Structure 1
């Protein structure tokens, strides 16, 4: 199975919903329109997709013992499906099978008790092929590239291209080996930014009165870890406590003199 380019273009700007099941993380995109729906799921290794047209809705409805005979009935069910999917996406069960991935969406207990929405539905997503020569469709790896790698690469490239040539992070990146650094690696960029050994080298040269003043250097962005932030707050609290003790001691001495 392949992902049609038209569906891919529609899904490109749809935000990902993250669903964590045990130790696995799945990323889900979905769109519900008047007569159809699409769901795209990936674990960043494989990609699954379902196109829910009239026939597909009929097929999935039979599993729930629901008979759909007309498009009007399918549209009514689709309206309920959209609400069910949105309400249960954060708690839906995900089951991988050979060539398939099933999203089982159920109403909450309170909804069942109050009979707000008793509809239960299984979205049957099919595994995308690992490669294709079709220019009008995308394989699984192509979807991962367009939806994850390419946006990340754009962010990193923008970050690096807007650095000055003498920026210490950029200099360190230039010295890094290809195996150590990749422009698609946001984590490596983060490590570089947080590197405590990165310093700024500046030299002062005399200027004549007629020379224009050089532009002020760009401010260095300092990123600290949670541990460093906690330590800073702890030290600030200690300083405040010490100052309070000194103030109380001074007030006590003053009262004794009086």
Structure 2
């Protein structure tokens, strides 16, 4: 009978150093308390940021909330565009910090913020914002997971994490290309990559670089959709088969150097 992986051992790629900041150096209770403190401080920071907005009337106050569906995004877009010209940096910083907050704590809603960026800002600025926020937020999530993620992964998703550890071990020489590929495809959800990466020993530098690059193509599709925000009926209603095909092509191109190097290595061996 096949034994189910338990992740009791350190899950790291071959020849990778053990992950620091794990349960051996920081107790689970202390780590959980630290993450809770970070969350509360971040939440208070968000409250302070939105307190910098000018005094809002009752209708505007109702619209100032995290979007959970496309109609929420339309309401928020209408509100932010109303104040963007007179309070540009307040709107910009609020967007920036909110996106990072959602990414850091794996809270749904960042897809609607990507759409909003296309509505509020020029395309180049919007794409730069989304990629930067995604990279920073995902890295913060990585760091928090390095404190408390091991126990959660061991308890809830040991088999899935073990399978990905094996994949990471096989791609240890091409981690950046491999993670870029995963960020552009739906094979693994972003929250899974962010949480499990430090547990299985993915180094933080290639993780950050690959995240910033890998989220760009899919984010561009949502940013372009945001330019016609009021015409959208769902978050994906303006994504065409052509766009999906282009995304698939870019995903294949991201992994081609890996396949080429492997084939060349096999011939040389």
Q: Name the TM-score, length of structure 1 as normaliser.
A: 0.24
Which structure is higher in strand share? 1
Considering fraction of residues, name the structure with more helix. Answer: 2
- Higher relative contact order at CA 8 Å, sep ≥6: structure 1 or structure 2? 2
The TM-score with structure 2 as length reference comes to 0.23
